[in-house]
Structure 1
Amino acid sequence: MKKTTLVIGASTNPNRYSNIAIKRLLGKNVPTVALGLRKGKVLNVSIDIEKVAYKNVDTVTLYLNPTRQEEYYNYIISLIPRRVIFNPGTENMEFVKLLKENNIESEIACTLVLLSTNQY
């Protein structure tokens, strides 16, 4: 079974990096779920507005500034992902430390670059 990626900060706006990331993840056949402020769809991925207890989340990729991330700390940790990717502008050393304390890897990287260089 393939592991799922959760995009947090998902947007239906095609100019947003979270939107582009969802499309590229799907293009690489990565099972993808999304959480955002507004309901909507990106291709066949519904954007949820409630914190869903998704199963088999391998990677969480963040598109939220550090201040907005705080309300998601416990939620993300509860999903027990293998790693959390902090995309440019989302770097948050407080959360990195908390993830480490919970044995969750963190990566300060760009999901789009990782996908395009086959390092995802």
Structure 2
Amino acid sequence: MDKKKTLIIGATPNPARYAYLAAHRLVDAGHEIVNIGIKKGEVAGVAIQPAGDPLPDIHSITLYIGPQTQPLYYDYIIHTKPQRLIFNPGTENPELEARAQAAGIDTIRACTLVLLSTNQY
């Protein structure tokens, strides 16, 4: 399996959240992660940071923020230029999906945890 540098938007140090589980499972699978969020702390040994300048070499962005919060991140996501944008359950957003596709970014509505557990990540 290819290793895919993954940006997690909505990272949290709360172990009860799916973003937390995804961060740990991504790292366990050998993927490098970048944690973006509003919470302070770290997840899977990686500090949570606020969104800043778009990052280079991101293969996938996995979303753990709802559609109501996503407009704050539209430009950040598009300018990061990932190969793939994953809309986890509850994050589906046709407007962002259309913008991403227009920018040449593949979009997928899927659960990162399921993709990892079925070797489809």
Q: Which TM-score band (shorter chain)? A: over 0.9
Aligned to 1:74: 75
- Unmatched 5+ stretches in structure 2: none
- Unmatched 5+ stretches in structure 1: none
Offset from partner CA, 1:3-35 (integer Å, 9 cap, x none): 410000000000000000000000000010110
Alignment of 1:20-59 (within 5 A): 20-59=21-60
How far apart in 1 are the matches of 2:116 and 2:110?
A: 11
Asked if 1:84 is matched to 2:85, the reply is yes
How far apart in 2 are the matches of 1:2 and 1:88?
A: 23
Aligned to 1:63: 64
- The alpha-carbon deviation at position 53 of structure 1 amounts to 2.8
TM-score, scaled relative to structure 1: 0.95
Report the aligned-residue RMSD: 1.3
TM-score, scaled relative to structure 2: 0.94
Aligned to 2:119: 118
- How many residues in Structure 1 have an aligned counterpart in Structure 2? 120
